[in-house]
Amino acid sequence: MLIRRLLLGWILSWLMLPAWAAEKNLDYWSFQEYLDAFPQQRELSDAFAARIRQVAEPWTAPTDNPVHIAMLIPDQQVSDYWSRNRQSLALRLQEIGLPFTLENYSSRPATTHREEEQQLVEALNSDPDYLVFTLNSLRHRVLIDKIMARGRPKLILMNITTPLKHWGKNQPFFYVGFDHREGTRLLTDAINKMTGKQANYLMLYGTRGYVSQARGDEFIRLTSNQPGFTLRQAFYTNVNREKARQAVLQTLAAKPDINLIYACTTDIALGAMDALKKLNKEDKVILNGWGGGSAEIDALAQGNLDLTVMRMNDDSGVAMAEAIRLDQEGKSNLIPQVYSGDFAVVDQQTTAAELERLKDYAFRYSK
């Protein structure tokens, strides 16, 4: 038993290190910086957002061959963000009436580089017109550089709304998702109201990379000038529910004064929830979610989660469908470089009627 505890402690210590102390951000514009730097993009973005909120216009142009789409997404996790947006992409294209084929290459958030590269080779061998990928690490950027050098397929980067300066004017076809920093700002404001700006907190990151920086490091930055906020511990969990649970159990045993756990993803929040239940501390420690998918909404309704920032989830899939549609119509001049969907903060005070209204819209295709 002692050896097991020592080994667990070593593993968790190895996973622990704030991203802001270990790795510099990728060289990118924030979403708002990009819109400020390129005012014409703001106009495009506003018009495109209005299109996303409307019903689909039927496809009328002749089509010789179905559009071929390949998706490489880390959908093997409790969070249903990725799988729901695959559904909403497909259903919006069906609603439009644009013929298409969609191949999905599924992975875990912490998939090895070798596995990811193998999937990418397989996807490219199928010669898709559009490739849906993500950008969360420098390794991803290397792979994307190679894809862009080929000139085909057109690249849609999902779950990122911060264009890289590295690519200059030669940007990917489309960035789509929900602005992580804006979501974190909304979540921070809500946590401040809930805690009175007084908290000893544990930071639970996902994997090393952009999302942990934009969600976790941004929360640290936003609260760094608040004397009542103290970061007591931080862990990388690789978006693993069990690792998150163990991190919470170990930390609260050593630092019982912690009264806030900031979780960067759904799986992490649920792991923290498991630990708080085991310790009977659900009512003593505030716990947030991030994203507001089905698992988080259920946990909130059951009183196991205090609050979350809820993405209007299907906006992202609809945006991909509409960008493909406009491109196929020869109207790529109407597609913004970046699209960021809408958020709403929900907590245990949110009425059932309001929550149902938000769910009806957020999951309007992926019910």
Q: What is the pLDDT of residues 20-45, one digit of tens each?
A: 333 444 588 999 999 999 999 999 99
Place of tokens 């920093």: 181
* Selected residue with higher pLDDT from 139 and 19: 139
C-beta separation of 253 from 279 below 8 A: no
pLDDT digits (tens, 9 = 90+) for 131-174: 998 876 667 777 888 888 888 999 999 999 999 998 888 999 99
d(CA 3, CA 269): 28
> What's phi and psi for 312, nearest 5 deg?
-75, 80
Taking CA atoms, 39 is separated from 32, 36, 174, 327, in Å, by: 10, 6, 17, 22
CATH code that applies to domain 10-24+181-311: 3.40.50.2300
Q: What is the pLDDT of residue 15?
A: 40
d(CA 288, CA 268): 10
C-beta separation of 299 from 273 below 8 A: yes
Beta strands, E only, 185-267: 199-205, 229-236, 260-263
Domains 10-24+181-311 and 31-179+313-340 share a fold: yes
Whether domain 31-179+313-340 has CATH 3.40.50.2300: yes
d(CA 318, CA 322): 6
Q: Domain locations in the chain?
A: 10-24+181-311, 31-179+313-340
Using a cut of 0.85, tell me whether the model's pTM lies above it.
yes
d(CA 324, CA 69): 10
d(CA 44, CA 47): 5
pLDDT digits (tens, 9 = 90+) for 212-263: 999 999 999 999 999 999 999 999 999 999 999 999 999 999 999 999 999 9
Taking CA atoms, 321 is separated from 13, 130, 134, 314, in Å, by: 43, 11, 17, 11
